[in-house]
Each structure stands twice: as C-alpha cells, then as structure tokens.
Chains A and B, each alone.
Chain A
C-alpha cells in the first residue's frame, strides 16, 4: 500500500443535469508507484479526461467530485482547500492537457510561459535563477535554447507540444498526467515526443499517467495498463500481460480492433455503441455489447477484483 505515490480510491465525479447525473467517473480505484508509467486507455466518452482533470481538482462546476479519495503521498487532495491545492498543482502533480499545444498563449514568449508557473510557486527566485531553470527544462525536453525566446506560432506542432511538456515538468513534480499528449501530431513527431517524455521520466523519476485511446501507443510506452469503459475500470495489469492474455471481454475486443502488421483484414469492430454516461446500462455497463454476457451481468455491477498479483478484472466470468 505504501511506496505508492498516488492512490485513487473509489473516485466518483458526476455532472448534475436536469435529466439526472452524468456519471463520468463512477467508482475508479488504482495505485501509481513512484516513477511508474501507467496507461489509462479508453474510447471517447469513457470519462478518462474527466478523471485526468479530477486528479488535479480542475473539474468545472456544475461537475463535482462526488465521492472517493485521491491520496498524493498520503495527503487526500479532495479535502484540501483551494489555496493548498494550488500549491500542489505543478509542484507535485502536473497535467499536460488535451490539445495543450493550442492553448499556449500566442502573445507570450515560450520562456515567459514556462517562468509563469515557476514564479507563481517560487516568488523569491531571482530572474536569473528562473531563466537558468527554463533552459535546463528545455534541454530536458530536447529543445534548443533559442526556442525560449520564440513565440508559439513560430514553432511546429511537435515543438509546441514539447513546450507544454516542459511547462508540466518545470517544477519537477512527482506525478505527470498526460492527456492524449500526441493526438494531433504526425506519427514521426509522435514518436519523438513520446520518447522525450519517456527519457525525462527516467531522468526525473516522475511517475507518468498516459491517458489515450491508442492501444499502440500504450504498448510502446507504459508498464502497466488500465482499461476504462463508460466511467469504470474494467481491467488493470502489467501491459505485456494484458496484451498477451486480456481477461475482460472489452479488452479482448479492443485489442482485436487494432490492426496489426500481419494478416490483412484481420481486425474487427466492436458491435454496438458506447453508452451515454447519462444512461449507463444496469449491472455491468458493458453487458449489452458483451459476447459472453450472462444473466447476472445485467443485474449486478462486477467489482474490480485482484485475480492474481497486480492483475485486476471487473467481470462476473471469473466467479462462476
């Protein structure tokens, strides 16, 4: 239990609407070890981005954390005041949000955007110290010094994204949450950025949660993989294990829907549609699309159980 830098316990994030609550995150639990690379994979609408934002308490009202705990080094983030959380953000846990490269301030030089966050947490640092830190950070992400005095529009997509990574690691946090950091990038640049993140992760010893929908990217980058479907985790385990022997039917179907370089045409779609988070099916939320659904699946929510060391599945199959 200890030695985990991040522990999420039964986290629930709901958005209230006039037609009922949207259960974006519905009882998610997982641990993250120090320096570990964890992947969170799921399709659009499964709630993974909401989960990312909730870890940094950036959920906008009317959405709210309805229950559960987020323990960062033993401290429950859900109970902190706004000011206390502000000091932890960027310092101990940071976020590379989706589409980050498009939200860089177009009228500020790169240097100033990185210094912004640093200065907010260290008001006593001198300008020279801050600048030195900026250059250090840029080097870590593989950008040259002269990038510091450039404006975002002068940079390519990959470079902008690496600036966002630089901002996220500027204060050397222990946990970096990366929400689809490469979704808008070309495949060559994507590899570059991912390798950069991987390299600096080793050097800084930070734990990284990679959130995305690309199974290929997960296979290339993470050590452990968590699969999310309609607000809940369905499978967690070592990435090689999960790929070699997926236990949950959704994971199995997900893996078989990704084209491999082998037999042509051998990849399948998953029939049916992802449920709206407003109207999640009763019992196991995957049961309407599950080829192995049984009676009990439509009645009881399967709990996430540890079927073997560090291998968790939420499925009624194992029980019978």
Chain B
C-alpha cells in the first residue's frame, strides 16, 4: 500500500467503497480500448477462428459457435454495455431532475400531473413495455437506440425521489432567506436547492445506470439488442441460442456472467460510497 501516492491511500482509507467501486467500473470501461492494444479485435468477427474451441493459450477464452474469439468479444462488448447504461441513466436522470424539481417546487396542478404520469408509468411492467418498443423499431438497432429505448423507463423513479427531496428542502429556512433576499423560484431551484442535492443526485444516477444495464441485458438476452455489436447481453443470447449450456461450452456463457456480476458489484460499491458522503453518520470515525 505504501507504494501508492499518499493521496490515493488516504482516499481508499476514507471511503474504500467508493474508491474500489470506481476502480472496478473504470477498468471495465477501459478494457476495450486498452485490450485492443494487446489482442486482435478483428478476431471478434464471425468466422475468425475455428468454432467451439475450449480455452487455450491461443484463445484464452475459447471461441463460440460462430467462430468468434471470445476474449476480444468480451473486451469490446463490456464497454458497450456500460455505455448504454451510462447514456440511459444520464437521460433518465436528466429528465427526472427537470420534472422532479418542477413538481416538487411548484406544487399544485403541475405537481399532480407530473406525479400522476410517473406513477402510472411505474406500474407498467417495464420489460414488457421495452420489448414492445424494441420489436416495433424497424431496421437494425444501434447501441444509441438501445440507450434511448431503455431510458423511457429510467426517468420515473428519479422524478419521484427528487421530488420528495425538493419537498423537504423547500421549507428550509435558507430558502426563506433567499426569498427575503429577492430570489425568485427558478433561481432558488438552481442556486439553493440543487447544490444540496448533489450527493443524492449522484447516487440516483448510479441507481439509474444499474437498472438501465439490467434492462439492456434483459432485452439483449431475448435477442432484441444490437445485432452487429458484441455486447454482453447479445453474447448470452447467442450462447442460449446455440444451447451452450447443454453442450458444455462453459467458456462462452460463464465469463459474461462474471463480468456482469463485477459490474453490479462496482456500481453497488459506488452507491454505498456515495451514501457515506451524503450521510455523514455512516462515516468511519476518524
């Protein structure tokens, strides 16, 4: 530990969860560009190698039935999946912030409408809705399209929770002071309320990303994902399609699952770490 610079060790000591979580996600993202320096990414294409080969020195993760080298596939696919999650999470949170703040601060009929819409959509079975949308898209689905589809469901929860946070903050005395100082509504939202919600928004974001990734993988595992990109979910889809489990091709379906578990672990740790910042009572005694 003493080999690392002082700043890093103190960051790890102060908030181990956040640090480790961020490291995990960072590694998973950088896997692609970094990995392509060592591994030939062209081998992720169909027919690049002999199919169904078990792991060996030449093919560390073996190959699938399409003849794709699974190692570069994983290296390329993981960042894609995370990217979809980040994009969908960002869109969902962005919409959630706008709607949540407006609903919470304005109240009245505007609040009722926004809240009603969010509540209704929350009751619709998510995956079903996504499947319907995905199926109705003509033409090939790209990674960005996936993100857009998934984000349809990502805004409701942030809207609701941000709204409640705004409701509690709205009556705080520093808001009253701001009003006495001549500030009006929208400015109060942006300058007084939003900064106080930053840790909360951050952890909402992580939550949105996590559920977006889950939704993505779910859709892809059903075959509704981008056909030409080697995402994690699609890998699982093809593995199921070709009955990899029964055929004992464990090197095909196991590694994606490991990666998925790692991803969620990383996201969870980040969320716990952020929670520690937002909630000082959880901090380790210094």
Contacts and interface: CB of A to CB of B under 8 A. Distances in A.
B139 interface: no
Interface in B243-286: 285-286
Contacts of B285: 62
A62 B284 CA distance: 12
A224 B129 CA distance: 75
Nearest to A61: B285
Nearest to A18: B286
A245 to B, nearest CB: 43
B10 to A, nearest CB: 12
A224 to B, nearest CB: 38
A137 B123 CA distance: 53
A62 B286 CA distance: 11
Nearest to B285: A62
A20 to B, nearest CB: 12
Counting chain B residues whose Cβ lies within 8 A of the other chain, the interface size class is under 10
Contacts of A62: 285
A2 interface: no
A126 interface: no
Secondary structure type dominating chain B contacts:
loop
Interface residues of A, number: 3
Contacts of A17: 286
Contacts of A18: 286
A100 to B, nearest CB: 21
A6 B286 CA distance: 36
Interface in A1-20: 17-18
A18 B285 CA distance: 9
A62 B285 CA distance: 9
Nearest to A19: B286
Interface in A202-236: none
A216 to B, nearest CB: 28
A163 B136 CA distance: 66
A17 B285 CA distance: 8
Interface in B23-66: none
Interface in A67-117: none
B30 to A, nearest CB: 35
Nearest to A17: B286
A161 to B, nearest CB: 26
Nearest to A15: B285
A87 B6 CA distance: 49
Contacts of B286: 17-18
Nearest to B286: A18
A262 to B, nearest CB: 35
Interface in A53-74: 62
A31 B285 CA distance: 35
A272 B286 CA distance: 29
A227 to B, nearest CB: 32
A63 to B, nearest CB: 11
B280 to A, nearest CB: 15
Nearest to A62: B285
Interface in A113-158: none
B281 to A, nearest CB: 13
A304 B285 CA distance: 35
A17 B286 CA distance: 7
A234 B111 CA distance: 58
B165 to A, nearest CB: 24
Nearest to A16: B285
A18 B286 CA distance: 6
Interface in B93-122: none
A179 to B, nearest CB: 22
A253 to B, nearest CB: 31
A17 B284 CA distance: 12
A251 B286 CA distance: 36
B286 to A, nearest CB: 5
A26 B285 CA distance: 23
B203 to A, nearest CB: 27
A60 to B, nearest CB: 11
A39 to B, nearest CB: 33
A19 to B, nearest CB: 9
B173 to A, nearest CB: 18
B285 to A, nearest CB: 6
B13 to A, nearest CB: 11
B197 to A, nearest CB: 27
A6 to B, nearest CB: 32
Interface string B59-91: 000000000000000000000000000000000
B241 to A, nearest CB: 55
The 3 closest A-B pairs by CB, nearest first: A18-B286, A62-B285, A17-B286
3 contacts: A17-B286, A18-B286, A62-B285
